[in-house]
Amino acid sequence: MKGLRLAGILWLVSGVMSVVLTIVFRTDALQWVLTIASGLVAVVLGIWLSVRPNTAIVPWSVAVGIAWLIIFAVLTAQQAGELVAWSTDVFLAIIGVAAAVVAYAAARETPTAGGLP
């Protein structure tokens, strides 16, 4: 369950950073909606994985990770000419994908209730 908690912490960090960076730096309305909404979903998922780590949450983490990657890949492409914005979007994408991968890996290592000890 330590891996799931780590994934939860990564989701919390990525979600909070997404929301804060959006409030401080983004000006486009569509980018606001996408990054605030995805950041809030990441925060909720992070809290869920941190407080009640359970392998049943992992498919949600993977789905959010895929959506997260798509959103931030599109934002990276849109802001390719702005180095700071581009690098921030890449950094956020990496943290979100890392959270999904950590959750997936932790679920594969967690023994099932009916499995061998």
pLDDT bucket at 117, cuts 50 / 70 / 90: very low
Instruction: Output b/e per residue, 29-65; b: 16+ Cβ within 10 A.
Output: eebeebbbebbebbbebbebbbeebebebbebbbebb
d(CA 38, CA 40): 5
d(CA 32, CA 46): 21
Which amino acid is it at 86?
A: W
Give 83-108 pLDDT, tens digit per residue.
888 899 999 999 999 999 999 999 98
Who contacts 110 (Cβ-Cβ below 8 Å, separation ≥6)? Answer: 1, 3, 4, 55
Q: Average pLDDT of 62-66?
A: 97
Question: Per the domain annotation, does 39 fall within a domain?
Answer: yes
Question: Per the domain annotation, does 117 fall within a domain?
Answer: no
Whether residue 24 has pLDDT greater than 90: yes
Nearest CA to 61 out of 13, 18, 97 is that of: 97
Containing domain of residue 13, as a range? 2-109
Which amino acid is it at 102?
A: V
Overall number of domains in the chain: 1
DSSP letter assigned to residue 112: P
d(CA 66, CA 45): 14
Tell me what pLDDT residue 81 has: 87
pLDDT bucket at 1, cuts 50 / 70 / 90: confident
Question: Per the domain annotation, does 115 fall within a domain?
Answer: no
Is the whole-model pTM more than 0.85?
A: yes
Give 27-63 pLDDT, tens digit per residue.
899 999 999 999 999 999 999 999 999 899 999 999 9
pLDDT bucket at 110, cuts 50 / 70 / 90: low
Question: Per the domain annotation, does 116 fall within a domain?
Answer: no
